[in-house]
Amino acid sequence: MNALLQAGRAATGCTLYLAGFKRSTGTPSYDLPCLMCSKMLVNASVSKVGIKTPEGLRELDPKELYRQHLDRVIVKFSGKEYTQRDGTGTQ
């Protein structure tokens, strides 16, 4: 979120790369941007998000990432099991 705030309008059309470490263990973190950060990525018109994963770089569309978060929230409150839009699994 801080990177987006610092970039301001310069983030428009850019790719944001995300990699980090867990503070408690120092091991790599592969977490996706949270709901709020995903919403900010869409509003800042960031074109792609590059995320470090154990398999390598994974590129995501910020709008799809935000939609997946919204799907999870809707499913959470409906009491149903979440299934990804592409049908590849549940979370």
Least gap, CB of 34 to Zn ion (angstroms): 3
Judged by the rule CB under 5 A, the positions of this chain that interact with Zn ion are 34, 37
Residue that has been written with the tokens 């960031």 in this structure:
46
Nearest-approach distance from CB 35 to Zn ion, in angstroms: 7
* 66, 44 Cβ separation under 8 angstroms: no
Q: How far is the CB of 37 from Zn ion (least distance, A)?
A: 3
Residue type, position 41, single letter: L
Residue type (1 letter), 71: D
Q: Which CB sits closer to Zn ion, 14 or 35?
A: 35
Q: How far apart are CA 65 and CA 11, in angstroms?
A: 17
| Residue whose CB is less far from Zn ion, 6 or 88 | 6
Angle 42-48-51 from CA coordinates, rounded to 5°: 110
Of the pair 19, 83, the CB lying nearest Zn ion is at 19
